[in-house]
């Protein structure tokens, strides 16, 4: 039996319409890699630096008042040698009183006044009990540079540990990492703060471990 022309034409129109729709589509790809070896980061003292009560009259009026440093022991323990990096996330984003990406905030007063900030520095680091170099990446791990011993851990950069044995600085697979992690907090100039009642120092950062 011969197919009626109207039915054949409708079929051709549907095929043509499908081609037009395909040109306006976009693909979604879900990718990743499941690693058989997990790593666990830990901080001594439960990751808590408590400065107690500080009298407002002891704060400097026109410049920041530094508080004593606190040093934690940071460890990362992996089930097997693993490539990883660390990323610092400011949980009080926008409250750092210093400009730039160097510091992490200590919270707000009245939702607008920046109370202060703190810096993070990693020192005395060893990987599997061997000396390594501290590295930093500005492009999410695509390239790495060597950092000095006293370099600040900037919140916009990954930090890792490795060497340049392959000609370029790059992280190495590590099973156990041990490092000192020192914070350097300071309170902003008192002249810009409303200190008529008790104000909590409310700094918080998350140290993320990223598998490479």
Q: What angle do CA 22, 24, 29 make, to 5 degrees?
A: 80
Two tokens, residue 28: 């979604």
- Phi–psi pair at 187, nearest 5 degrees: -100, 135
Q: In the predicted model, is pLDDT for residue 99 greater than 50?
A: yes
Determine, yes or no, domain membership for 170.
yes
Q: Which structural domain, as residue segments, surrounds residue 195?
A: 30-211
Question: How far, in Å, are 51, 62, 92, 205 from residue 201 at the CA level?
Answer: 8, 19, 11, 13
Q: In the chain, how many domains are there?
A: 1
| CA distance from start to end of the chain | 64
In a domain, 90, yes or no: yes
Is 4 within the bounds of a domain?
Answer: no
CATH of the domain at 160: 2.60.40.1090
Q: In the structure, what pLDDT confidence band is assigned to residue 7 with cuts at 50, 70 and 90?
A: very low
DSSP letter for each residue of 59-90: S-SSS-EEPPPEEEEEEEEEEEEE-EEEEEEE
Residue 140 lies in a domain: yes
- Mean of pLDDT over the chain: 87
Give domain status of residue 50, yes or no: yes
Q: What is the pLDDT of residues 30-81, one digit of tens each?
A: 766 666 679 999 999 999 999 999 999 999 999 999 999 999 999 999 999 9
The answer to whether 187 and 195 have CB atoms below 8 angstroms apart is: no
| Tally of helices (H runs) and strands (E runs) in the chain | 1, 15
Q: How many CB atoms lie within 10 A of CB 71?
A: 15
Residue 113 located in a structural domain:
yes
pTM: 0.82
Phi-psi map region of 128: left, alpha, beta (phi>0 left; psi -120 to 50 alpha): left
Burial of 16 (0-12, 13-18, 19+ CB in 10 A): exposed
Q: Is residue 177 part of a domain?
A: yes
Percent of the chain with pLDDT over 70: 86
**Residue 41 near residue 72 (C-beta atoms within 8 A):** no
Q: How far apart are CA 134 and CA 123, in angstroms?
A: 9
Q: Classify residue 97: in a domain, yes or no.
A: yes
Q: Are residues 123 and 111 in contact, defined by beta-carbon separation less than 8 angstroms?
A: no
- pLDDT tens for 109-161 read 999 999 999 999 999 999 999 999 999 999 999 999 999 999 999 988 899 99
């Amino acid at each position: 039996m011969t197919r009626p022309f109207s039915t054949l034409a409708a079929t051709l129109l549907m095929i043509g319409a499908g081609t037009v729709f395909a040109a306006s589509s976009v693909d979604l790809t879900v990718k990743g890699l499941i690693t058989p070896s997990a790593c666990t980061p830990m901080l001594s003292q439960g990751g808590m630096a408590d400065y107690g009560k500080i009298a407002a009259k002891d704060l400097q009026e026109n410049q920041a008042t530094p508080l004593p440093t606190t040093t934690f022991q940071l460890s990362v323990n992996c089930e097997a040698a693993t490539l990883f990096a660390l990323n610092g996330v400011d949980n009080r984003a926008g409250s750092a009183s210093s400009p730039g990406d160097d510091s992490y905030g200590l919270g707000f007063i009245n939702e607008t006044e920046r109370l202060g900030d703190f810096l993070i520095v990693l020192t005395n680091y060893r990987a599997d009990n061997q000396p390594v170099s501290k590295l930093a990446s500005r492009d999410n791990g695509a390239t790495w540079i060597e950092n000095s011993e006293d370099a600040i851990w900037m919140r916009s950069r990954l930090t890792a540990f490795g060497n340049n044995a392959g000609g370029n600085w790059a992280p190495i697979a590590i099973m156990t990492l041990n490092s000192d992690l020192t914070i350097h907090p300071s309170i902003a100039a008192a002249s810009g703060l409303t200190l008529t009642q008790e104000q909590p120092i409310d700094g918080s950062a998350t140290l993320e471990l990223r598998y490479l």
